[in-house]
Amino acid sequence: MRSIALLVACVLASSTARADDSTRVSVGVSPALAALKGGGIEVDIMPPGHVRFFASVFTLAIPKLFLRDNSDEGWSIRDTGGGLGAEYFVSSAGRGLFFGLLAETQNHHDERMDVAQDSLELGVAAEVGYRWMPWRNLYVTPRLLAVVPLYRTKERTVAGESVDEGPVRAVPLLYAGWQF
């Protein structure tokens, strides 16, 4: 419920943003996350030039495909979090290939054998992506993040088993939105 309230707050905040002729504001959602029983939204501002600044929030159930060696051990994992970041576009038009950095925080809700635990994670991520503008102000942005956790409030161990995660997590994302 808190996640939904956070998503609504971001939408309301973005609707009050005023863009002048030189600054663009956009709002995007992640339809790909809906397939993972989740959702995501991002709000951004892009002053003239090559850089875009953004804030995003998300929630999703982690699919078994991403659980690696834990996929057959009865795990259920839901992540809810958000991030702040900046992206550098190769083109000053604010579309096409970009590279970015972001700071992220997320709550991992892990369940296994009717035992559950929450743990908070703080991390950083590098990303590469492409912002495609197929029609007017509509954009579609596939991106790949490499997330590096820097701090966790506790180890992710439930019912005697730990979540098997490497030091870097690859996270594919797809956002679509409207640029104002």
CB atoms under 10 Å from CB of 119, counted, come to: 17
**Backbone torsions φ then ψ of 4, nearest 5 degrees:** -65, -40
Distances (CA, A) of 114 to 59, 76, 84, 117, 164: 21, 10, 34, 10, 19
* Three-class DSSP category at 93: coil
* b/e sequence 46-64, b meaning 16+ C-beta within 10 Å: beeeebbebbbbbbbebee
pLDDT tens-digit readout, 110-169: 998 889 999 999 999 999 999 999 988 888 999 999 999 999 999 888 888 888 777 898
pTM of structure: 0.77
Question: DSSP string covering 1-25, please?
Answer: -HHHHHHHHHHHHHHT----TT-EE
Tens digit of pLDDT for each residue in 115-130? Answer: 999 999 999 999 999 9
Q: Which fold has domain 2-179?
A: Porin (2.40.160)
Q: Where exactly are the structural domains of the chain?
A: 2-179
Q: What is the pLDDT, as a whole number, of residue 34?
A: 59
Give residue-wise pLDDT tens across range 51-100: 999 999 988 887 776 666 665 677 888 899 999 999 999 998 888 999 99
pLDDT, residue 2, reads 43
Is pLDDT of 14 > 80?
Answer: no
